[in-house]
Amino acid sequence: MKIFVNRKIKRLFCGILLCVLFFTFIAVLLMEFEVRNAAVYTIVCFLLMSAAILVICYKYFREQHKIMEHAILQITEYISGNKDVTIECNDEGELYRLFHEVNSLVAILNAHAENEKNAKKFLKNTISDISHQLKTPLAALTIYMGLIQDEAEELPTIQEFSRLSEQELDRIEDLVQNLLKITKLDAGMIVLEKSLENVSEIAESVKKHFLFRASQEGKEICLSGSGETAFLCDRRWMIEAVSNLVKNALDHTREGDCIRMEWRVSASIVQITIKDNGSGIYPEDLHHIFKRFYRSRYSKDTQGIGLGLPLTKAIVEAHSGTIEVDSALGRGTSFTMNFLIPTKL
């Protein structure tokens, strides 16, 4: 039987068996030689045997308790961050086999953590290299386009070419910047500097940024919510997330349409909603809009790069929040971001 592989369990059973045999032998002798008050002595022998068995069991289980306490202490240390701890498993038996499996699991987790650390380090270095290699020529090209425009005042064709080139350069720069942002968020390279921020101030900042474009396109940006609503977030990144949603709404609405920014507190959740009465999203696209570089085959936006919504989702999730979308074709779209408000116990 596997249970007897453990020497300590063997000793326990042997000790109990010896006690039973010894006191049974004594009781038989008392009865055999018809000792006076043999029944009393037999009861005494039974009580002594029971006491001896209890002592043997107590010692065994106390030792097992110490082993388990030590194992729990080692596991707690590992959870606390000490990756070098192991549980002693130099004996035989099912319990020590379990300890060996736990040690193997710890080794696997440590290996995965080390691989992830190396991967993040490599990604960080790669991002830095890409950033340096792309930013420099883009800056140079922007300067060259400016020089061409300055020198080409009498040449309409060159001016038009320069204007289109500048648009494409801006588009490439947006692509690079968004790629860098979303990759840094994925790699955990960005530490969010959270503080208690007023939602209405964030909304006002976003509205001010898009006000000129909205007026040029004959659209309206409306705000609705309490001026007291606040939650913990990184202001710069939260403005980025909301701005992407407002830009998306402006891209898919017509003249005379309205983009609404609403916020409210529900229980322990802050909800920020960006809704419009634009063209809406096709049902088959709803499950893909947060995928990077995804572009609907129905989209009329030829300048989009398909990174705005994925970036917003990454920012929201970095704040431990969620984002939902609800859309009806021809009636508009609504994006809702949900953020928990920490409660004091």
* Residue 136: alpha-carbon gap to chain centroid: 34
The mean pLDDT value of the chain amounts to: 77
**Same domain membership, residue 329 and residue 223:** yes
**Same domain membership, residue 80 and residue 43:** yes
The number of beta carbons lying within 10 Å of the beta carbon of residue 109 is 12
Domain of residue 9, residue span: 2-85
pLDDT tens-digit readout, 234-257? 898 899 899 989 998 988 888 888
pLDDT values of the chain reduced to their tens digit, one per residue, 345 residues? 555 555 666 676 777 778 777 777 777 776 666 666 667 767 777 777 778 778 878 887 888 778 788 878 877 877 777 777 777 766 666 666 777 778 788 888 888 878 777 777 766 666 666 666 566 666 766 776 676 666 655 566 666 666 666 666 666 776 677 677 777 776 666 677 888 999 999 999 999 989 999 999 999 999 998 888 889 998 988 998 999 899 989 888 888 888 999 999 887 899 999 999 888 888 887 788 887 766 666 565 545 556 778 888 988 988 889 999 998 888 889 999 999 886 654
**Same domain membership, residue 148 and residue 35:** no
**Same domain membership, residue 74 and residue 145:** no
**Same domain membership, residue 199 and residue 179:** no
Q: Which residue has the tokens 């009393």?
A: 40
pLDDT tens-digit readout, 69-94? 887 887 787 777 777 777 776 666 66
**62 in a structural domain:** yes
DSSP letter for 6, please. S
**61 in a structural domain:** yes
Tokens of 176: 């690079």
**Same domain membership, residue 284 and residue 219:** yes
**Same domain membership, residue 177 and residue 229:** no
User: Dihedral angle at the C-alpha atoms of 214, 220, 221, 222, nearest 10 degrees?
Assistant: 170
Tokens of 59: 């010692």
**93 in a structural domain:** no
Tell me how far apart the alpha carbons of residues 176 and 179 are, in angstroms, rounded to a whole number: 5
pTM for the structure as a whole: 0.54
Tokens of 217: 């396109």
Tokens of 252: 């898919």
**Same domain membership, residue 26 and residue 68:** yes
